[in-house]
Structure 1
Amino acid sequence: MTTERPGKTARDVMHQGAECVGEHDSLRTAAEMMRDLSVGALPICGDDDRLKGIITDRDIVIKCCAEGKDLNETTAGELARGLVWVDAQTSVEDALVTMEEHQIKRMPVIENHRIVGMISEADLAKELPDSKLAEFVHRIYAGA
């Protein structure tokens, strides 16, 4: 069992250096990036290098493939959703609450108006006591 260490922030537990897919990039490009990076979600950044949303592998399957849309023609920006993020200095506890409230499993971490990483349920799992982890998983998957 892991114990929560006081004072830990989103920066302390995130995966650093999140790569963005461009809002004008195709879903094929997004899917290839996910494959190459071994991730299930990517932040979507605009031409201004600012966060526009997030796209998941599930979004690509459900909102593009299953709808008969073209992976080469549909852009990541068209599926941009969930502009939910935390500041790098946000406490692990507050990051957890934000993810629970929005029932999301991955969340961008922002510092000085730029994305610096991603935080996932797996990152939080390493920091939470078993009882808190069980509550988190229940809340996240209750609406899935």
Structure 2
Amino acid sequence: MTTAGDIMHRGAQWIPATETLDRAAQMMREMDVGALPISDSNERMCGMLTDRDIVVGCIAAGHDPSRTTAGDMAQGTPRWVTTDSDVSDALQQMQGHQIRRLPVIDENKRLVGMISEADLAGHLPEGQLARWAEDVYAMP
């Protein structure tokens, strides 16, 4: 059985809910990523922040990214898998909720990695990857 821990990329980092979006953008640039999980004060996931959220939800809406926090942008129910989850569970989460990046947590509920499209492309057979993309990118 291939697990989420087998295909994730390590080194993912939280952005605290209290951190500003300008700092979030700097972190994304430094880590060369397009999304950060948002953590509450107990380092529990309370949302996801994407580069698109910053641009469309903050800047294009006329808000100041130096005054808007990651927590202000947190919406919906966060999704994740554990390191020992079967890859099929990760795919189900991503397909069912049309998400492109999925945080991976360990047994202590600490963030240890992320599964992205690139991770899937490197580990899934072509047909399975095509089905995943079809489901994730389908218009609701």
TM superposition score category, shorter chain reference: over 0.9
Q: Find the counterpart in structure 1 of residue 128 from structure 2.
A: 132
Q: Find the counterpart in structure 2 of residue 103 from structure 1.
A: 98
For 1:13, give the aligned amino acid.
Answer: I
Q: Report the 3-state secondary structure (helix = DSSP H, G, I; strand = E; otherwise coil) of the residue aligned with 1:47.
A: coil
Q: Find the counterpart in structure 1 of residue 139 from structure 2.
A: 143
Q: Find the counterpart in structure 1 of residue 79 from structure 2.
A: 84
Could you state the TM-score of these two structures normalised by the residue count of structure 1? 0.91
Displaced runs of 4 or more, over 4 A:
none
Could you state the TM-score of these two structures normalised by the residue count of structure 2? 0.94
How many angstroms apart in 1 are the aligned matches of 2:121 and 2:66? Answer: 36
Q: CA RMSD in A?
A: 1.2
Deviations 1:15-36 (A, max 9, x none): 1121111110000000010011
Moved more, 120-129 or 56-65: 120-129
CA drift at 1:56: 0.3
> 8 Å contact 1:27–1:60 — kept in the other structure?
yes
Q: For residues 37-52 of structure 1, what are the structure 2 equivalents within 5 Å?
A: 37-52=31-46
CA drift at 1:143: 2.5
Aligned-residue sequence identity (percent) comes to 49
For 1:59, give the aligned amino acid.
Answer: D
CA drift at 1:113: 1.3
Q: Find the counterpart in structure 2 of residue 73 from structure 1.
A: 67
The count of residues paired between Structure 1 and Structure 2 equals 138
Q: Report the 3-state secondary structure (helix = DSSP H, G, I; strand = E; otherwise coil) of the residue aligned with 2:104.
A: strand
CA drift at 1:97: 1.2
How many angstroms apart in 1 are the aligned matches of 2:16 and 2:139? Answer: 29
Deviations 1:9-60 (A, max 9, x none): 0011111121111110000000010011100000111221211111000011
For 1:21, give the aligned amino acid.
Answer: I
Q: Find the counterpart in structure 2 of residue 35 from structure 1.
A: 29
Q: Report the 3-state secondary structure (helix = DSSP H, G, I; strand = E; otherwise coil) of the residue aligned with 2:19.
A: coil
Q: In structure 2, list runs of 5 or more residues that go unmatched.
A: none
Question: Is 1:25 aligned to residue 19 of structure 2?
Answer: yes
Match of 1:117 among 113, 116, 121: 113
How many angstroms apart in 2 are the aligned matches of 1:64 and 1:104? Answer: 20
How many angstroms apart in 1 are the aligned matches of 2:139 and 2:63? Answer: 26
